[in-house]
Structure 1
Amino acid sequence: MISTSTFTTSDFDVTDYTPSIATGLPSGHLRMSKTYAGDVAGRSITQFTSAFDPERGVGTYVALESFEGTVDGRHGAFNFVHAASTSGADRFNEYGVIVPESGTEELTGITGTVRLHIDADGTHRMDFEHDLPPRGTDA
């Protein structure tokens, strides 16, 4: 099943961590909150790491999210990870997966993948292609 949502970000907390090895791109960490609306509704706390040059729009990120809310009306929490590279406006080498065994409550046993889309108007969307055990069964 594919469940789609939009999300907004807030509460950016940039850490002061700087690796002791310098590379061609600055790297760093931040934590942010996201609010999801749609088939997937709720909130997440995202741990975000990147090697990225904002002036050129070049780099790669990896994000681990801890989500709490509902997926198609079923409540619980789970983790998912997503990553991508960019060279300006394009995105490539994308990866996204729901972390196995991370689901709770009615989302226990959730598995699948995630995919981030950014519309031309800047709207951020996340697609969750997932499987959930039928209601009332053990995962």
Structure 2
Amino acid sequence: MRASGTFKVVSFTPTPITPEPPVETGLPVGVATMEKHYEGETLTGRSATLFTAAFDQEAGVGSYVAMESFEGSLAGRGGAFNFVHSAATDGGPTRAAEHFAIVPGSGTSALKGITGTGGLRVTEDGTHQIWFDYDLP
């Protein structure tokens, strides 16, 4: 099954955590928490996100990894689950090395047992789109 919609970042809060031991690389590493709100015909809810990246804002080059805890509904079935995603960019319009997976065993309520993958993209007008390709028992 597929559930899709759009999301908005409600908050992005950098944290003062730094990797130990300190290792100097060509890109700064940062950690942040995020809150997102989702809406769509088959997807509604919110998520709490742990976000880390090695990224150069000016050049648009780098990579990120995010773990999200989603609470809401997919196609009318409510509950919560975790999903993880990551990608890299060389400063161009396309993303590379994308990964997106629903964390097995993380589903609750009517989403208990959820498995699957998904994806996200940002359109030229700045709209954030997301989709889940999932199975439920």
TM-score range, shorter chain: over 0.9
Structure 2's unaligned 5+ residue stretches are: none
Normalized against structure 1, the TM-score is what? 0.93
- Aligned partner of 1:51 in structure 2 is 54
2:112 matched residue in structure 1: 108
> What residue is the counterpart of 1:2 in the other structure?
2
Structure 1: gaps spanning 5 or more residues: 134-139
Equivalent residue of 1:106, what SS?
Answer: helix
1:52-67 alignment to 2 at 5 Å?
52-67=55-70
Q: Which amino acid aligns with 2:95?
A: R
Task: Please give the TM-score of this superposition, normalised by the length of structure 2.
Answer: 0.94
* RMSD, aligned α-carbons: 0.8
TM-superposed deviation, 1:18 = 2.3
CA distance in 1 between counterparts of 2:136 and 2:121 reads: 23
**Mapped partners of 2:43, 2:49: distance in 1:** 16
1:90 aligns with 2:94: yes
Which contiguous aligned blocks of 4+ residues in structure 1 show a shift greater than 3 angstroms?
Answer: none
Instruction: Please give the alpha-carbon distance, in whole angstroms, between the structure 1 residues aligned to 2:73 and 2:4.
Output: 12
Aligned length: 133
Q: Percent identity, aligned pairs only?
A: 54
User: What amino acid is the match of 2:107?
Assistant: G
Match of 2:26 among 10, 24, 27: 24
Aligned to 2:62, the other structure's residue is in SS state strand
